[in-house]
Amino acid sequence: MKTNKLPETRVCLIDIPVVVETLRLVVERMGLELVKSGNSVLDCLDVVKQSAPELLILDPLLPSGLDLLKSLRFSYPELKILVFAFNEELYGLRCLSAGVNGFLEKNASVTKITVAIEEVILTGLSFSEALGKKVVRLTVLAKPGHFPSTEPLDALSDRELQIFTLIGRGIRTRQIAEDLGLNVKTVESHKAHIKEKLCIPNCTELARRAFMWSGS
């Protein structure tokens, strides 16, 4: 039985296998149709094109994940996108700016996951109260066309933030390069820019700061 008389909704899940399995159980319990699951950008692009889901749930830490969100919003304006990630503080506003309909942290309970999916389907929006207040505050303070920077990490580009988060998870440079489809020198260059922008003196301190911010 669908909760809250949800309309017929095709759902696509793109994330690591363990997370996808949890989401799959929730989606099936809600009586929604799971059209496909996967764990890559190619999986995502393929299923959106071939299966035309109404709801897409994915992790913005996929390679070029934030760029993918922007591209999907441009190409499929009616698609509802729920982001499922570890740190709302790090990624909430960026994902919102990319055009997502909701943000949910990966430590959320099954009840919260269910509520978020329902809200996105029924109202088109699902964000925490904290993120909502932050958006309102920044909207009031913003000049037309942009949000003012209020956090140190706002200085980082999307790619730098992605690498910073992966460093915080203890992933080494070579593995980051492989995961993101970059060469090692490019990742090292991004790390240097991160240290410069955040006034971090060395790689040891970079790892410590990244760990603290990532919520690992």
**Token digits of residue 72:** 């999907």
**Token digits of residue 35:** 């059209």
pLDDT at 2 over 50: no
Mean pLDDT of all residues in 80-97: 81
Average pLDDT of every residue of the chain: 82
pLDDT at 127 over 50: yes
**Token digits of residue 181:** 């489809």
Structure confidence at residue 113 as a pLDDT band (50, 70, 90): very high
* Residue 165, pLDDT score: 84
Strand order in the sheet with 33-38: 33-38, 10-14, 55-58, 80-85, 102-105
Structure confidence at residue 36 as a pLDDT band (50, 70, 90): confident
Domains of the chain: 3-138 (3.40.50.2300), 152-214 (1.10.10.10)
Structure confidence at residue 79 as a pLDDT band (50, 70, 90): very high
Rounded alpha-carbon distances, angstroms, from residue 136 to 69, 130, 139, 153: 22, 10, 5, 19
pLDDT at 149 over 70: no
Task: Specify the pTM.
Answer: 0.67
Contact status, residue 80 vs residue 56, Cβ threshold 8 Å: yes
* Residue 137, pLDDT score: 59
∠ CA 205-96-160 to the nearest 5 degrees? Answer: 30
pLDDT in tens, 7-32: 889 999 888 777 888 899 999 999 99
Q: What is the distance in angstroms between the CA of the first residue and the CA of the last residue of the chain?
A: 36
